[in-house]
Amino acid sequence: MENTQTVTTTDVPTGRQLGGKYLTFELASEEYGLEILKVREIMGMMPITAVPRTPNDVKGVINLRGKVIPVIDLRLKFDIEEMEVTEETCVIVVDVNSLEMGIIVDKVSEVLDISSEDIEDSPSFGSSVDTNFILGMGKTEERVSILLDITKVLDGMDMDFMNQENGKEVSEKF
């Protein structure tokens, strides 16, 4: 008698495993969420030093207490029209694979505790639309938050840039 075992692996947990706290924020009137454990800090906009020959969505770097942190404009990353900076525009510093980076968002909303039962798998739009970066859809009251896997939001090009810039002391760069 042959013993067979099926093993499936996935980088994205199912909705049943995703319950927890999420920092929600807005981009172009839509609500998104990040796992709170990936968030290191939230700050208002500050001067960003542009770095030549970087992708359009990479706005540059900031000096955060002596550490150079790359900053990505999430609107541009998602092909949403760039917006003027307002009082509510924020930089969320996140931890991605032990690297810190900033993402620019329109406005930080709140921290939500979303139960596993209120998270559905990301919708399928067919093979022409990549939704691999969406952990799931969090339902709260009368709204839906798009829960992001921030690691997958950043493609290889962004991660290469972050690896080059992250962790360098300001004196090394300036």
Reported as a single tens digit per residue, the pLDDT across 113-149 is: 999 999 998 776 655 556 688 889 999 888 899 999 9
Q: What is the pLDDT of residue 12?
A: 47
**Is the pTM of the predicted complex or chain greater than 0.95?**
no
Q: Are strands 134-140 and 119-120 parallel, antiparallel or unpaired?
A: antiparallel
Domains and CATH numbers, the chain: 15-169 (2.40.50.180)
C-alpha distances in Å from residue 28, one per residue of 81, 98, 130: 9, 29, 20
Over pLDDT 70: what percentage of the chain? 75
> pLDDT per residue over 159-172, tens digit each?
555 555 554 443 34
Higher confidence at residue 12 or residue 54?
A: 54
> Does residue 173 come out as left (phi exceeding 0), alpha (psi in the -120 to 50 range) or beta?
alpha
pLDDT tens digits along 20-56: 999 999 999 999 999 999 999 999 999 999 999 999 9
Question: What was the pLDDT predicted at 45?
Answer: 95
**What's the rounded Cα separation, in Å, for the pair 37 and 173?**
29
